[in-house]
Amino acid sequence: AQTIHQWPVAEIKAVGSPLSLGCTIKGKSSPNLYWYWQATGGTLQQLFYSITVGQVESVVQLNLSASRPKDDQFILSTEKLLLSHSGFYLCAWSLVGSAETLYFGSGTRLTVL
Amino acid sequence: GEKVEQHESTLSVREGDSAVINCTYTDTASSYFPWYKQEAGKGLHFVIDIRSNVDRKQSQRLIVLLDKKAKRFSLHITATQPEDSAIYFCAASTGANTGKLTFGHGTILRVHP
C-alpha cells in the first residue's frame, strides 16, 4: 500500500526566515508529485508539480521553490518567508498517465509571524 | 482559467437524512470531477469522482451526478452519519498530466443526531 508522509506537522516561523517542508511517498514507483497550498479558511491552489526526478514545474509565483531530489521525495522551500506564506501545505501524488486522481498527505500547518 | 463554484458554504442535516452539495464549473474542457473530504486540521481524503463519459456514479452511500450541459455536478450523501461531518471540496480538471485540480471553496457539513 502507498503511504505519503509529510514533515513537519506544523511550523511557526518568523518573517524573513528560511523554510523547508518535505514529503515522501512509499510504495509507488515514479509517481507524479504535487504541492498544494490552502490559505486559512480558503480553497486549495496548486503550487508545483513534478513528473520525474529533477524536474519541477511552477504553477504560481509565491516566492517559493520546489525540488525533487529523489524519486520518492518532494521538497518545498524558500529562503525568506513572508506573512502571506501562512497556511496549510499539502503534498499529493498520482499515478503516471492517470494524473487526475490525487492522493494527499496529512499536511503541514505553517504560521508566519 | 477554470473556476469552480461550490454553492453551499455550510450544510446542516439530521442523522439519517440526505445531504446534497452542488458545484458548477466554467471550462467546457473539464472532464474529471473528484470530491474530497477534510476533517478538522487534517489533509484531504479522496471520496469519489466522476468522469465526463458518465452522468452518474455511486459508491455505497455516495452518489455523484454530472450535468455537462449545465456544467454542474453534485455530491449526494444518503443516510448520513455523524462521522460524515467534515468539509467537502469539489474539484474539476481537464485531465492534463499536470495534476491541476481547480477546487471549490468547500462546504462544511454538520450531521447532528
Digit-by-digit pLDDT tens for chain A (113 residues) are 889 999 999 999 999 999 999 999 998 888 999 999 998 877 899 999 999 999 999 998 889 999 999 999 999 999 999 999 999 999 999 987 665 789 999 999 999 99
Nearest-CB residue to A106 (from B34, B43, B100): B43
Instruction: State mean pLDDT over B70-94.
Output: 97
User: Number of CB pairs < 8 Å for A and B?
Assistant: 64
Instruction: State mean pLDDT over B67-93.
Output: 97
Q: Is the Cβ of A94 closer than 8 Å to some Cβ of chain B?
A: yes
Q: What tens digit of pLDDT does each residue of B3-22 get?
A: 999 999 999 999 999 999 99
CA distance A33 to chain B (A): 8
Q: Is A110 left (phi over 0), alpha (psi -120 to 50) or beta?
A: beta
CA distance A79 to chain B (A): 25
Instruction: State mean pLDDT over B91-109.
Output: 90
Looking at residue A98, its pLDDT comes to 60
CA distance B58 to chain A (A): 17
Question: What's the Rg (C-alpha) of chain B?
Answer: 13
Beta strands in chain B (DSSP E): 4-6, 10-14, 19-25, 32-38, 44-51, 56-59, 62-67, 72-77, 86-92, 102-103, 107-112
Are B107 and B10 in contact by the 8 Å Cβ rule? The answer is: yes
Residue B96 has pLDDT above 90, yes or no: no
Name the band, by pLDDT with cuts 50, 70 and 90, for residue B98: confident
Report which residue type is found at A87. Answer: G
